[in-house]
Every structure is written in C-alpha cells, then in structure tokens.
Amino acid sequence: MPDFHSMHYDRDDHKERVKALTERIRAARTEASENGAAIGSRDLRAYRKTIDQLASPRHQTMPPAFGSDVGILESEWERSLQQDWATNTRVINEMEAAVLEFQDLRRGEYLEQVPRIIGEICGFQKVLFSVVQGTHWIPVTMWAKDPSEITAIRLDKYLKDNPVIRLVGRLPEAEMARRRRPLLVMNALTDPHTHKPPIVLSNATDYAGAPLFVDGRIAGFLHIDRAIQARPPNETDMLWLHRYASIVAGMYSITLSSRREKRTQTNFDRVSLMLNELRPCGGQSFVSPEVQQNKSGPAPRKFNQVESLPMSRLSAREYQVLQELSKGMTNQAIATELCVSIHTVRTHVRQILKKMRVTNRAAAVAGFHSALRERSDG
C-alpha cells in the first residue's frame, strides 16, 4: 500500500494542476460560446496532452479523490470538444446558406455584404475586405461588430483615404497571393514584414487573412481580428475564413459567368434584329422565335403575382420552411423547430420569395396553398 503521507508535495501539486487546467478549459469554453467562436484544435490538443500527463501511470498511486478530480477534468475536455464540433457545424451550414444572398447583388452591395456575413456568423471583431488590382492591394470595405468602437472608427477613416498597398517582398498578403493559402499572423506589430498602418489603427496585434481567387487569379483578400476579445484569432478562425473566401470567390465567378452569358445573348439578339431589318423581302429571318415573340417587351406583371408557382425551384429545406410559414410560424419558431439559426431561416425566406417571384411572405403562403389545391384537383 502506497505511503500517501510521504507524497504530500506531489499530491498537492497534482491537485492544483488538475484544478487549474479544469478552470482554464471551462473559461475557454465560456469565452468561445459568448463570442460564437471555437476553442480551436491546437488548444484542445494541448489540453489533451496535459490531461494525459496528469493521468499517467506515475500518478495512479494518488488517493481515489484525486482520480475523481481527473474525471471532472476529462468531462470538461469532452464538453469543450463537443462544443467546438457543434460550433464548426453551425458556422459551415450558415456560411453556405448565407452566400446565396450574393446572387444578383450589385458590386457596391457585394463589397458590403461579404464582410458583414462572415463577421456575424463567426463573431469576429472586425472584417476587412480588399481587392487586388495588378500588383496592388486596395482595402475597400470594413465590417465591425461595434462600429462606435474607437479602432473601428479609425480604420473606417483610413479606408476613406483610399489606401493603395504594393504586393511586394515578404508582405503576408504577397505570400498569400503566391502560395494561395490563408495565413495566421501573430505579433503583427513587431513583425518586420507586415504593413503597419491598418494594424496600428485597428489595434490588431494578431490577425488572420485569406485570399480570394476568381478564375485562377488573385482578386482580393479577407482579413479578420478579435482585437478587444479575450483571445487572438486561432487556426480554426483562419480555416473558417479560408472556406468562406473560397465559397465567395466561387459564387462570384458563377455570377460573372452568368452576366457574361446574358450580355452575349443580348448582343446576339441585338445584332440579329439589325440583320433582320436589312434582309430582302421574303428572305429568311435571322431572329429567333423567342426574340420575335418578345420584341415588344414582356407583359407587365401584376403586383405579387405568382406565376404557376415554381415549386420545383425550391430546395427541400426551402420547401420545409415554406410549409412552416404556411402554419403562421415566426422566423424564431421555425429556427427552433428545424434546429437552425434565425439567420439561416431569414436566408431561406429570401430565397423562397425570390424563386416564387413575390414580394412578401403572405403572397408566398397564398401561392403555396394554391399549389396544394391544384394538386388535389388534379
């Protein structure tokens, strides 16, 4: 039987270490939850390594009470791991749903919405959106969790001066463009390679950045910080930002392709009409039947008209949300029912109205009931 009295110092030291680590993990989980953030895989691995050391064979001679302390520590780590998993799942789902808002946005709206969405979903303090033109990096818009906070005011004023920064040397942004990878920049104020003005103004001693590539070319950057929060950005923040940047770039590329196709078709129809006017009498028309039919312009649409209810355009989730709307449920009630955030529900509602070509929820519900009656009559 081990002599616990001769192990008094080690026993007390072990107990204090277990208690300190338990409180540290609990505090990290609370802070992450309050900011909609993740503890991060690096910290979780570090906690796990320390727990394994505290539970190693050399500590198995401790009294049973200390074993229960380690059990509590294990439980705190498991809860933290589950919370990070749930947060990561939520962020990815909301991110993918939110980018649907980018369809048909004008350039100015696009530049404003991109930083806002990622900032709100991930709980970042500030998000900076920049474009790249040639060998220059140009910060253009910013979103701040608290626009009245002094660093947000300073950075916004800096953007109004239209700064232009050269992408040269070992500047982190130049590295992102060359390597096509996100970066986590720590101690940015003392790093000799960072561009200091925006860092000093925003008090972002640590930040993460991700490049946006459209059609294989560098098109812009996204930067985020947690300047006045309890911890700096971590590798999970960087990976979230990188995933979002990739989705945004992909959606923008699709939008550009769609607009090019529309312009090409419009130009083709315009030329066809001109050639048709020049053709000899009795000659073959160059104009497609669709263009001839719509030459006088589309028929005016009645307000809130639902044209044959294009239900097939709705995704399975959007149809489910529409069903709940037809029951008179609010966005918050739908979010609770479907186990999603209210932000995701709002995005689905906007998509439903757009696809059904109506302007309000009442018209969408009316169209839904009309479609159900048509099915029953058929």
Instruction: Report the pLDDT averaged over residues 241-256.
Output: 79
pLDDT at 300 over 90: no
Q: Is the pLDDT of residue 166 over 60?
A: yes
The band of 16, judged by pLDDT with boundaries at 50, 70 and 90, is confident
| Average pLDDT value over all residues in the chain | 78
Which residues neighbour 319 within 8 Å (Cβ) at sequence distance 6 or greater? 311
Q: Whole-angstrom Cα distance, residue 204 to residue 233?
A: 10
Q: How far is CA 37 from CA 19, 43, 85, 247, 369, in A?
A: 24, 13, 11, 20, 41
183 and 209 Cβ atoms separated by less than 8 Å: yes
- Residue predicted with more confidence, 1 or 10: 10
Q: Could you give the C-alpha distances from 71 to 18, 61, 307, 314, in angstroms and in order?
A: 10, 15, 62, 49
CATH value of 107-255 in 3.40.630.10, 3.30.450.40, 3.30.70.1450, 3.40.50.300: 3.30.450.40
CB atoms within 10 A of CB 26: 15
> What pLDDT sits at residue 129?
93
Sign for the CA dihedral angle at 125, 218, 102, 161 comes to positive
Q: What is the pLDDT of residue 106?
A: 67
| pLDDT single digits (tens) 97-119 | 877 766 666 666 777 888 998 99
Domain spanning 306-378: CATH 1.10.10.10: yes
pLDDT tens sequence across 222-240: 999 988 776 789 899 999 9
Which residue type, as a one-letter code, is found at position 282? G
Average the pLDDT over 194-206 and give the result. Answer: 90
Span of 100-114, 233-247, 290-304, 364-378 with lowest mean pLDDT: 290-304
- Please name which of 206, 29, 226, 231 lies closest in space to residue 123, comparing C-alpha atoms: 226
Spacing of C-alpha 158 from chain mean position: 25
Helix-then-strand count for the chain, H and E: 13, 6
Is the pTM higher than 0.85?
Answer: no
d(CA 252, CA 233): 26
- CA gap 17, 4 in Å, rounded: 18
Task: Kindly tell me if the per-residue pLDDT of 173 is higher than 90.
Answer: yes
pLDDT in tens, 27-84: 888 888 888 888 888 888 888 888 888 777 554 545 555 557 778 888 888 998 898 8
* pLDDT value for 71: 82
Average pLDDT value for residue range 328-349? 84
Q: pLDDT band for position 182 (50/70/90)?
A: very high
